[in-house]
Amino acid sequence: MTARGLYIPAIPTPNHLPPFTSKSPLFPPPFGHHHRFSATTLTRSSLTDQPQTLSAKSHLLTLISDQERGLNTQSNPQKLSQIIQAIDAVAELGRGTTTTDDSLSATWRMLWTTEKEQLYIIKNASVFGTKAGDVLQVIDVQNKTLNNVITFPPDGVFFVRSTIEIASSQRVNFRFTSAVLRGKNWELPLPPFGQG
């Protein structure tokens, strides 16, 4: 099964974002501004907010409200099926719209996912003496970048950089290029893996 995820805008974004470099602060400049993405990503403000669309979005948000970002869904196939059906219903209502233009450039907060690696990190954050904070995707369509970020308050972050390519009006392909795990006074580069 393809990994699925549900993201919402974290903060509005200006059109141009400075690049992230190894000299950037713990939260690079795009965090002052903001972005989104997922292996399959759905919640788009560009979908017309007609009553049917609002009802489908509300139903989906209700279904995931007690799922701890997807942790609880892993052991509940019935709930997973209901959520996937609700995601597909929202996607169907958005058929024919463009979701890969500059409006995709923003920081997006993950509400729910089936992506096993992200869920593993969220579940095991206690190894770092903390809980996982925000899980974000920072997308910059113009610069063809996507960054996945999992925060570990107060000072930690897992940061994965990717390049993106617009594949269609509703699909973005990505390829991981680097990864780093950071604490207050340390940094551990990790090999990037994956594309989709």
Q: Burial of 172 by CB count in 10 Å (0-12 exposed, 13-18 middle, 19+ buried)? A: buried
Phi and psi at residue 189, to the nearest 5°:
-70, 140
Write down the pLDDT at residue 40: 39
Asked whether the predicted pLDDT for residue 105 surpasses 90, the reply is: yes
What pLDDT does residue 43 have?
Answer: 41
Q: Which range has the top average pLDDT, 18-22, 35-39, 126-130?
A: 126-130
Q: How many Cα atoms are found within 13 Å in the side-chain-facing hemisphere of 126?
A: 2
Q: Among 105, 129, 97, 87, which residue's Cα sits nearest to residue 10?
A: 105
Return the pLDDT at 195: 73
Helices (H) and strands (E) in the chain, counts: 3, 7
Q: Give the range among 1-15, 16-30, 150-164 with minimum mean pLDDT.
A: 16-30
Q: What is the pLDDT of residues 127-178, one digit of tens each?
A: 878 899 999 999 999 999 999 999 999 999 999 999 999 999 988 999 999 9
Q: Are 90 and 56 in contact (CB under 8 A)?
A: yes
Q: Report the C-alpha gap between 164 and 152 in whole angstroms.
A: 26
Q: How confident is the model at residue 39 (pLDDT cuts 50, 70, 90)?
A: very low
Q: For residue 113, which amino acid is it?
A: T
pLDDT digits (tens, 9 = 90+) for 72-104: 999 999 999 999 999 999 989 888 899 899 999
30 pLDDT above the threshold of 70:
no
Task: Give the pLDDT confidence score for residue 21 in this predicted structure.
Answer: 36
Please determine, for residue 14, whether its predicted confidence score (pLDDT) is greater than 80. no
pLDDT band at 12 (very low <50, low <70, confident <90, very high): very low
